[in-house]
Amino acid sequence: MIQNFVLAFFLLLSPALLYAQSSAGTHATQESRYLFNLPTAGTLKRGVFALEGWFFSNGGAMVSASVGVSDKFSFGLSYGATNLIGSGTPQWNRLPGAMVRYRILEEELLSPALMIGFDSQGRGRFIDSLNRYERKAPGFFLAASKNFEFLGYLTWHAGLNYSILEAQDDGNLNFYIGLEKTIGADLTLYVQYDFAFNDDRSEIFGRGSGFLDVGLRLSLGAGFTIEMNLSNLNDNFRSLSALDRSFRLEFIQSF
């Protein structure tokens, strides 16, 4: 199974790199679509394809593929498991994740871009007994993003989301905010604060103070971007230490 998983990942990376894209730094040709686990108002442009590999704690890995159908509409699928890297039996997610997003308003001088969508892919382990991920999927969301020129680019993000498929333990509407700052041509720093209003009642997850996550996104050229994430910096996760590390490898190209 793991051989097929790895083979599929690299086969999808094999097309010619002539139309490769970038999503980090001032030379970025594509907008970011997520901060850590929550969506921005960014979307893939028409005819652009993105493949991502996420690698996280407990030997976890996830692959996702997304495509821009138009400059406003994109969709994607994802699937993963924990204990995939290392020994023992992989614990596969119960269902693949699905994502659809539509930009309802373009960014203007005095107003942000607005995105509506649905995303069923959470982050971390999927716990069958609780029917949820460690970090809940966004579910239905409304996201806003506004870009400013400041020593490169500074972008703020805000959003509302309702994790409809993981609402059994806490079904509140959630809110999140974030910032991205470019550092030179190929590097972007992000900060996300997830208020986690939908995850502050559980006995083993959120403590009630939200989640603080940061990361660095670096363009490697030829369409590849690597992202290093530090999540739960404020020790809000009851079952984890204060710091959780993960990384993401992204490949984007036009076809």
The residue with tokens 């108002």 is 41
How many angstroms from the chain centroid is the CA of residue 195? 16
The encoded tokens of residue 195 equal: 């208020």
Question: Counting Cβ atoms within 10 Å, is residue 73 exposed (0-12), middle (13-18) or buried (19+)?
Answer: middle
Q: What is the pLDDT of residue 235?
A: 86
Report pLDDT for 222: 85
Q: Angle at the Cα of 159 (from 155 to 160), degrees rounded to 5?
A: 175
Distance from C-alpha of 127 to C-alpha of 135, rounded to nearest angstrom: 11
Q: Tokens 């490898």 identify what position?
A: 249
Domains and CATH numbers, the chain: 2-254 (2.40.160.40)
User: Are residues 199 and 205 in contact, defined by beta-carbon separation less than 8 angstroms?
Assistant: yes
Q: What are the pLDDT tens digits along the chain (255 aa)?
A: 544 554 555 555 454 444 567 788 899 888 999 999 999 999 999 999 999 999 998 889 999 999 999 999 999 999 999 998 877 889 999 999 999 999 999 999 899 999 999 999 999 889 888 889 999 999 999 999 999 999 999 999 999 999 999 988 888 999 999 999 999 999 999 999 999 999 987 666 778 889 999 999 999 988 999 999 999 898 888 766 668 899 999 999 987
The confidence score (pLDDT) of residue 244 equals 87
Predicted pLDDT of residue 18 = 47
Check if the beta carbon of residue 141 is closer than 8 Å to that of residue 114.
Answer: no
